[in-house]
Structure 1
Amino acid sequence: MATPQPPVLRHAFTVRVEVAAPLTVGRTAAGTRRVVPITGGAVTGPHGSGRVLPAGADYQVVGAEVSWLEAKYVLELADGHLVYVDNRAVRVASAEDSRAIAQGIPVDPSRVYFRCAPVLTAGEDGPWAWLNRTVFVGTGERDPDCVRLEIFAVQ
């Protein structure tokens, strides 16, 4: 039996998602439920550039150390095509760092495990149709006013 070969990752995009102050719904059995409005941002990288439209939000369940994130928003690429993003992520940090992140206080990214699996959807008859047939993974960093994502295509 042949040795399995791991997938190759190719950098596709850097996405800087600007966010507004979170709306805290409240504490639930799973953690604190928050909704963070997405207000804009930029996308750059070897596969294109554009902007994050001021539409969508990051729906969060924030636990003491583990947070589950689900962001839904739209990119407008430089050529005018739109890409829908449905990004699910997990962020793991110490209880102290998690509290700081929730309060908008910067935390050293090396102390936080932040990984995501975005699904990118584009029109099937345009130049970005390949996004519909590609699996993506990424890493994230949280700043007080934005989330920075490095998105990789799985080859």
Structure 2
Amino acid sequence: MEPPPLTFVMQIRIEVGEPVDLGPAPTGHRRLVPILGGTVTGPGCSGRVLPAGADDQRLTSSTLTELDASYSLETDDGARIGVRNTGIRVGRAEDIRAIVEGEPVPPERIHFRTQPRFTTAAPDLAWMNERLFVARGARTPDAVQLEVFRLD
């Protein structure tokens, strides 16, 4: 079989707040990063990130962070979309440390990939409930930038 193609759907810019450090846990050092808002643009969806939700992060080693974010989108016409986005961020120890400390790191030095799942009651967006998606990301001190692709 041929690998499935990817179709660009949207770009999400998620504005984030100051992380809440929960400290060491059996699964890794935990941080909660509040989601403050943001924008959604693209051929599949346009709108905004609602100011609610958080990214539950586990720093499982000096080079690997596991991500589990829950948040919501609202389209330009008022439809609401729930998002559950899990993934990984991998880089050299000094680059991961810099991100944790709120310093900028060039995105090409970080492998940042996620698997967003979307749920919505909007009839014209029902296709989002029925497809799988992947995203690549970049982290800045105050935001996360995701490029989301549908797995066709």
Q: Which has the larger radius of gyration?
A: 1
Return structure 1 stretches of 4+ with deviation > 3 angstroms. Answer: none
- Deviation, structure 1 residue 109: 0.7
1:134 maps to a residue whose letter is R
Give the 5 Å matches for 1:95-110. 95-110=93-108
Calculate percent identity across the aligned residue pairs: 46
Determine the structure 2 residue equivalent to 1:121: 119
Measured after TM superposition, the shift of residue 126 of structure 1 is 1.4
Match of 2:78 in 1: 80
Instruction: Give the length in aligned residue pairs.
Output: 151
Task: Report the RMSD for the aligned CA atoms in angstroms.
Answer: 0.9
Opposite residue 71 of structure 1, the aligned amino acid is A
> Is the Cα contact below 8 Å between 1:27 and 1:33 reproduced in 2?
yes
Residue 32 of structure 1: how far off its partner (Å): 1.1
1:64-119: CA deviations, max 9, x gaps? 10000000000000010000000001010111001000011010111100000000
Q: Which residue of 2 aligns with 1:48?
A: 45
| Residue of 36, 41, 66 corresponding to 1:39 | 36
Aligned to 1:152: 149
The correspondence for 2:87, drawn from 82, 86, 89, is 89
Structure 2 counterpart of 1:11, one-letter code: F
* Contact 1:31–1:64 under 8 Å retained in 2: no
